[in-house]
Chain A
Amino acid sequence: AQKVTQAQTEISVVEKEDVTLDCVYETRDTTYYLFWYKQPPSGELVFLIRRNSFDEQNEISGRYSWNFQKSTSSFNFTITASQVVDSAVYFCALSEKYNFNKFYFGSGTKLNVKP
């Protein structure tokens, strides 16, 4: 079974629109970590955020915000006022404390922001 599900394969928006990327995870551990990575066309995955399972506070960083809800096992990512430079593939990932060498990645969501 998939530990991390990103149901949206590809999303296209027009610049300045808001967009939310969904991530649903599955784990039995009580201590775990959730991540979002961005992969621009250059190929390198860039770390965006880490959240541990004990911190359900939502986080905002500029135009980016993250909504972590344990009740629904979701860790969604919203980009406000999207820009062309946001075009990339975004990956959600899960790591469990007692198996820390392994990350479970979702299949990724490709975001296309059109001018």
Chain B
Amino acid sequence: DVKVTQSSRYLVKRTGEKVFLECVQDMDHENMFWYRQDPGLGLRLIYFSYDVKMKEKGDIPEGYSVSREKKERFSLILESASTNQTSMYLCASSLRQGAYYGYTFGSGTRLTVV
């Protein structure tokens, strides 16, 4: 089975801190994604990457950046955390033809910014 592992289930950070959320997948998937999930808003795409060192902005990239130095790892970076970034963050991966195969998701990181 494909596994997508997010390094932390829960994180509490202070306003202004630089925050790294890590995601690793073990099945050689080309595509990786970062979503945030908020009540009533569903899942919103922050960034995605379809290859090493490649990245594309999603619907809500402001305040975030990403890094993909290796195929299996996709990091989400909050340069200066703010309270409105308190949310559940979900990482996902897929084969290149993601539309057909669908995504595999990690268990999520619940981030609280105080």
| A interface, CB within 8 angstroms of B | 6, 9, 32-33, 35, 37, 42-47, 50, 52, 91, 95-97, 99-103, 105-108
Contacts and interface: CB of A to CB of B under 8 A. Distances in A.
A44 B103 CA distance: 11
Given A44-B108, A100-B97, A101-B50, A106 B42 contact: yes
A33 B43 contact: no
Contacts of A42: 107
Contacts, number: 63
B88 A43 contact: yes
B56 A103 contact: no
Instruction: Bin chain B's interface residue count.
Output: 20 to 34
Contact of B106 (A44, A52, A105, A107): A44
A95 B99 contact: yes
A50 B97 CA distance: 13
A106 B58 CA distance: 16
Contacts of B77: none
Given A43-B88, A47-B102, A102 B41 contact: no
- Most chain B CB within 10 A, of A6, A52, A100, A101, is at A101
A33 B108 contact: no
Nearest to B50: A101
Given A9-B40, A37-B105, A44-B108, 17 more contacts: A33-B100, A33-B102, A42-B107, A43-B9, A43-B110, A44-B105, A44-B106, A52-B100, A99-B99, A101-B48, A103-B45, A103-B98, A103-B103, A105-B35, A105-B42, A107-B40, A107-B41
